[in-house]
Each structure stands twice: as structure tokens, then as C-alpha cells.
A = this chain, B = another copy of it.
Amino acid sequence: MPNAVVLLSGGMDSATTLAIARSRGFDCLALSFSYGQRHALELDAARRVAERFGARQETVAIDLRAVGGSALTADLPVPKDRPLRELGGDIPITYVPARNTIFLSFALAWAEVTDARDIFLGVNALDYSGYPDCRPDYIAAFERLANLGTRAGAEGKRFTVHTPLIALTKREIVAAGLELGVDYGMTVSCYDPAPGPLACGHCDACLLRLRAFAELGTPDPAAYR
């Protein structure tokens, strides 16, 4: 089986992406980041999900709190109960400066040393909450960079960044994951579960997730406050 690197946050989208990468026949290295996010629950979730799908897992420690500039890495409030129709408009305060670029750069380094040509990233451009680093032209620009800036690229091997969720709604993502055996009870989507382990049910991530399960008529196995 060819190797692939899968960015795995422990949320709904990246868990589904790992399941898709496995279903396409890749031997997966799941890469997670301890970056100073508000809670480590998602890292535990990432480990469980990786184990469930037989993937090796690495957690990379980087300090994005030193950079700050986001409600996910600084002491800024996470927006709650925003109308769903507003999501996807402005870039929200939960945007972390250059986060996907940093994550993809590490994925590229790992891909190069494990002789993987394929990187999987669970970004989503429909219900994407307005993040600029989740759009198809951004992904294409990273692929180009990867092929120009690496030994593997210089030797004529081509990197591909797969974004199997990019054109799916959250509802379609959950439906695809359920079909592939994803246990969404293992995943953590909430931006703000502190102080306990329960999801808040009110941040953008919780609202999008709850709507997806409601539309499918399936209960969300996550535990909410």
C-alpha cells in the first residue's frame, strides 16, 4: 500500500478524511498538532481515531500561542450562537493565522521522509466558516509550492494534496463517514468545551455539526453540556 500523510485534528472532518484515505488503499501516517489550542481533548480524540483506522500517529508540538491572533490560541472569547446563514461570510476570530500553511508544511516534511506522495486534508469550502486557507485555489497553490520546494519534487515525483471533503456539505461528510465506519462519538468538534469535556453546543463548529446530524435524522453521539 502506498504511504499517505493525513492531517488529523480529532474533529469530524479529519476523522472522515482518514477513513476516506484508508478506503482508497493508503497506509496512513496521521499527523496531529499540539499547538497551544484551547483544549487537548481533540488530541485524545485524534489518537483514538488513528487507532481505530490502524494509522500510525505523530503529534507535533508547536507553539501558536506565542503567535496568538485567534480565539483558538489567545484569550479571546469564542463566538456563540451565530446564525448559521452568517457563517462563511467574514473570516471569524477562530481563524488561526497561517495554521493550515504550517500544518501542511509539516505534512510535506513527513511525506518527504516517508516516501509518501499523498497528503490528505479535511478542509471544506462549502460550510467552511469563512477560513481563507480552506479554498481550492489555496490548496492548488500549496501543491505547486510542494513540488517546487522539495528534493522529491526536484526528482520529478509529484505531491498531491487530497481534499475529499472540499465540495461536500457537513451533512454529506457525516453520511460518507458513517458509511465508512467512523464513530463520531470518538471525535471532538467543539471550539470551547472548557472547563469539562462536554461540547458547548453553541460555537460555529457545534452548530454546523448539530445541523448536519439533524438533517440526516441521526443522533449526534457527541456529549453536549
Q: Which positions in A face B, CB cutoff 8 Å?
A: 58, 60-64, 66-69, 91, 95, 97-102, 104-106, 108-110, 112-113, 132-133, 135, 137-138, 141-142, 144-146, 148-151, 153-154
Do B62 and A154 touch across chains, with their CB atoms under 8 A apart?
no
Contacts of A98 in B (CB 8 A): 105-106, 108-109, 112, 146, 149-150
Contacts of A62 in B (CB 8 A): 60-62
Contacts of A148 in B (CB 8 A): 132-133, 135, 137-138, 141
Contacts of A110 in B (CB 8 A): 67
Contact pick for A66, options B58, B97, B142, CB 8 Å:
B58
Do B145 and A132 touch across chains, with their CB atoms under 8 A apart?
no
Contacts of A69 in B (CB 8 A): 109, 112-113
Once the chains are docked, how many angstroms separate the CA of A145 from the CA of B108? 15
Please tell me how many copies of the chain the complex holds: 2
Do A101 and B105 touch across chains, with their CB atoms under 8 A apart?
yes
Once the chains are docked, how many angstroms separate the CA of A18 from the CA of B151? 27
Contacts of A104 in B (CB 8 A): 105
Q: Is the interface of A mostly helix, strand, loop or mixed?
A: helix
Do A91 and B151 touch across chains, with their CB atoms under 8 A apart?
yes
Do B145 and A149 touch across chains, with their CB atoms under 8 A apart?
no
Once the chains are docked, how many angstroms separate the CA of A27 from the CA of B79? 34
Do B97 and A113 touch across chains, with their CB atoms under 8 A apart?
yes
Do B97 and A108 touch across chains, with their CB atoms under 8 A apart?
yes
In the assembled complex, 5 residue pairs joining A and B whose CB atoms fall closer than 8 Å, in A order, are A61-B61, A61-B63, A99-B109, A100-B149, A101-B145
Residue of B nearest to A110 (CB): B67
Do A132 and B106 touch across chains, with their CB atoms under 8 A apart?
no
Do A149 and B153 touch across chains, with their CB atoms under 8 A apart?
no
A132-B150, A149-B100 known; A64 vs B138 contact (CB < 8 Å) = no
Contact pick for A132, options B61, B135, B151, CB 8 Å:
B151
Contacts of A132 in B (CB 8 A): 148-151, 153-154
Which of the listed residues A60, A100, A144, A145 has the most CB atoms from chain B within 10 Å of its own CB? Answer: A145
Contacts of A97 in B (CB 8 A): 108-109, 112-113, 150-151
